[in-house]
Structure 1
Amino acid sequence: MKIWILVFLFSFSVFTFSQNLVKNPSFEEFVECPNSLGTFNEHVVDWSTPTKGTTDYFNSCSIVMGAPENFNGIQHPKYGNAYAGLYFFAPADYREYVQVELSKMLEKNKTYRLKFYISLAEGSDFAVKDFGVLFSYHPIDLETKKHLSKGRLYSTKGNKMHFFEINHPEFHQDKTDWLEVQAEFRAKGFERYLTLGNFRDNAGTRKIKTKRRETKKGAYYYIDMVTVSGEEAGPPEDESFAIDSTYAFKNVHFDFDSHRLSPDAEAELEEFFDYLQKKPAFNIEIHAHTDNRGSHQYNMALSQRRANAIVAYLIGLGLSKERVALKGYGSAKPIADNATDDGRQQNRRAEFLIKKGAE
């Protein structure tokens, strides 16, 4: 039985998002392996810091500023071998930011998607729920270590700025898993640089005290894999799925030891449900997989939970229970090398088998 990996699996969608416009998006390219605090501005290729705040760079090549282990806790990179670390909240309105030049200027009135991953460091005793996003025509370069207020930003003449926040109903206080943060926005047509951080002062920052003991008196977050992609017209409609063939979902992947569906996964499943509604003669069987970390018994149960999560979501959308079955394979069918983070991420996947329904 063949398994098909389709780049445009659900190409009957009206729109897709194009390639990433962020250079060095997961901070893998560096000038020198970090050996001390606050070297992000000097060591990471294509990135900078817009203020005098000392954003940190972590890479598995380093002992002092390592990944996963470092001075602020333990966190494996979401992608590759590196990530950044910065204070979103600290005493006396101290802030840190990251800034990058995009590979091209954004187009006016075009819809783009911004996405990145964050994880609260174990040393933090606060968590926040709002993440500031600033696009600008010229790079920001200010002689301050405090928050970038609108007054400070607009005191710089000759620059154009597009600011918004990604606000969430819950505080991001998970110190184990990476959390995806994303938003869609319409470009104004001058955006060439992207800056991420907290632009509010301490009084205006929505924060919560975490359950851990007090250490740093701040909210310090790791950040990884930043993407900005533009909305493009989708490819021609293609509904030629073959009976008794297995196809891989494009966006249904899982974090380590998790069966939670990401927003991208839910969006793809909604498109898949719409497709199945147009094909009442098709039944499906959902297959879920894990990487090789953990025992065989545990991974079999985890893959079953992942398959159940997908089936439950489809049934919740209105798919008949009689049209869907499921199966968990644990780590028995890898498609990539489990020795790398990227390979393990690819293996934490889901697929579907097309079957002919009852006449």
Structure 2
Amino acid sequence: MFLRIHPNLVLIAFLGVLPVFVYSQNLISNPGFETYNECPRHLGNLHQDVADWTTPTSGTTDYFHMCSFHMGTPENFNGVQRTVEGEGYAGFYAYAPDDYREYLQVPLRSTLKAGAVYRLSFYVSLAERSDYAIRDFGILFSSEPLEIDTKKNITKAKRFAYAENEYNYFETPADDFLSDTSDWSRIEARFEAEGTERYLILGNFRTNRQTRTTKTGRSSNKGAYYYIDKVALLEQKPELAIAHASSERQKEGFQLDSLQVFRSLLFEFDTYSLSHPGREELQSLYEFLRQDPDLQLQLAGHTDGKGTVDYNRTLSEKRCLAVAKYLENLGIPSGRIQWEGYGSSRPIASNETEVGRSQNRRVEFLIRKTRHLPPDSEK
């Protein structure tokens, strides 16, 4: 399943030189919810207990820290979950009866730069007592903080009632539900800033009817409650280096359960041909996959906004198929590869500029390990 957006960036080949990207400091203060004003003792008190973070609505977002008995980690009222790192994390209802919602809001260390590319990432884990899981999280950047007297979802009408505020909103769609209660799922998005982003708000902005959900088999009638930890927002800065993306992959390796993008698989407009650097990167991926036959690969193809919906979906499928066939020819069995084309439905940059359209012409991939039951648990 795809747990997060991880769109690619524009890579410009010039005389054999490819840009290598580095990241600046984290623009999120208190990213791991470690610093607190007071050790949490009560539900719904994040806005007072934890430093830097607030709630943009009347929803009662929670704060957990190892210092607390009632609001502690790893055990608390909604289940058991260790932290990603450190001793604290936050918790909120992303889906609940009667459109009840909880959100988190944090000021950025600095306003984002117009046209610059940033990477946002965070970890979520579904609480054990949740009876639903969702697929999509909303990301809202605003120029001014929100303070809305509601316990329901933040609608467009409520946002734009603040006439002085400017927004940049997108979602982190997934191809499966975020239902893991035993471990953390990493969500990642890369996007082009508009230059007005000063505050970050995380949560589910859809109504219950619009939210894609699945039942977990529990009957708590609570909804979908998620722990969240380790939030990072980094500016991506290009630096020219004499290196191919495939060699960078070889040094860094491939991550499991993390949606990634082919860095050097550059698609020109209206094509699905594999570039030479792209083939080198696929060779690196093949070497990684062949070492463990239990590894499964999932591909997601995308296009820019030019063309009809049906045409773009077909083109994105052809891009996936080109990647899949190349790996199959190298020796990866077809049964280990799944793919789906999304056309232009999931842009991560503006389709009004060539730079943005280049970013949208991408193939993402996810590597997962097949989980086998131990012999004594098989029926």
Which TM-score tier does this pair reach, normalised by the shorter chain? 0.5 to 0.7
Q: Does 1:231 align with 2:239?
A: no
The aligned residue for residue 78 of structure 2 is 72
Residue 90 of structure 2, aligned match among 84, 93, 96:
84
Residue 55 of structure 2, aligned match among 43, 49, 57:
49
Structure 1 unpaired stretches of 5+: 1-10, 240-246, 254-259, 287-304, 322-359
- Cα distance between partner residues in 1 of 2:143 and 2:59: 21
> Could you say if the C-alpha distance between residues 248 and 274 of structure 1 is closer, same or farther in structure 2, counting changes exceeding 3 Å?
closer
Residue 222 of structure 2, aligned match among 213, 217, 227:
217
The one-letter amino acid paired with 1:217 is K
Structure 1 residue 118: deviation in Å?
0.6
Residue 142 of structure 2, aligned match among 121, 124, 136:
136
Contact 1:251–1:268, Cα closer than 8 Å, also in 2: no
The one-letter amino acid paired with 1:176 is S
Residue 115 of structure 1, aligned match among 121, 135, 138:
121
Residue 262 of structure 1, aligned match among 242, 258, 261:
258
1:151 partner SS:
helix
The one-letter amino acid paired with 2:292 is N
Residue 308 of structure 1, aligned match among 285, 292, 309:
292
The one-letter amino acid paired with 2:230 is M
The aligned residue for residue 208 of structure 2 is 202
Residue 193 of structure 2, aligned match among 187, 205, 225:
187
Residue 151 of structure 1, aligned match among 157, 168, 172:
157
- Cα distance between partner residues in 1 of 2:53 and 2:25: 19
The one-letter amino acid paired with 1:129 is R
> Could you say if the C-alpha distance between residues 136 and 110 of structure 1 is closer, same or farther in structure 2, counting changes exceeding 3 Å?
same
- Cα distance between partner residues in 2 of 1:62 and 1:251: 38
Using the TM superposition, name which of 13-22 and 219-228 deviates more: 13-22
> Could you say if the C-alpha distance between residues 274 and 68 of structure 1 is closer, same or farther in structure 2, counting changes exceeding 3 Å?
farther
- Cα distance between partner residues in 1 of 2:142 and 2:186: 23
The one-letter amino acid paired with 1:85 is G
- Cα distance between partner residues in 2 of 1:54 and 1:69: 19
1:155 partner SS:
coil
Equivalenced residues, count = 276
Structure 1 residue 14: deviation in Å?
3.1
Contact 2:188–2:259, Cα closer than 8 Å, also in 1: no
Q: Deviations over 1:12-49 (max 9, x none)?
A: 65323332211111111111111111111111111110
Q: CA RMSD in A?
A: 3.5
The one-letter amino acid paired with 1:69 is E
> Could you say if the C-alpha distance between residues 319 and 64 of structure 1 is closer, same or farther in structure 2, counting changes exceeding 3 Å?
farther
Contact 1:261–1:309, Cα closer than 8 Å, also in 2: no
Structure 1 residue 178: deviation in Å?
0.6
Contact 2:264–2:278, Cα closer than 8 Å, also in 1: no
The one-letter amino acid paired with 1:63 is F
Residue 24 of structure 1, aligned match among 30, 48, 53:
30
Structure 1 residue 251: deviation in Å?
6.5
Contact 1:27–1:84, Cα closer than 8 Å, also in 2: yes
- Cα distance between partner residues in 2 of 1:70 and 1:49: 21
Contact 1:21–1:227, Cα closer than 8 Å, also in 2: yes
Structure 1 residue 101: deviation in Å?
0.5
Using structure 2 for the length normalisation, give the TM-score.
Answer: 0.64
Residue 34 of structure 1, aligned match among 40, 51, 56:
40
Using structure 1 for the length normalisation, give the TM-score.
Answer: 0.67
Contact 2:143–2:165, Cα closer than 8 Å, also in 1: yes
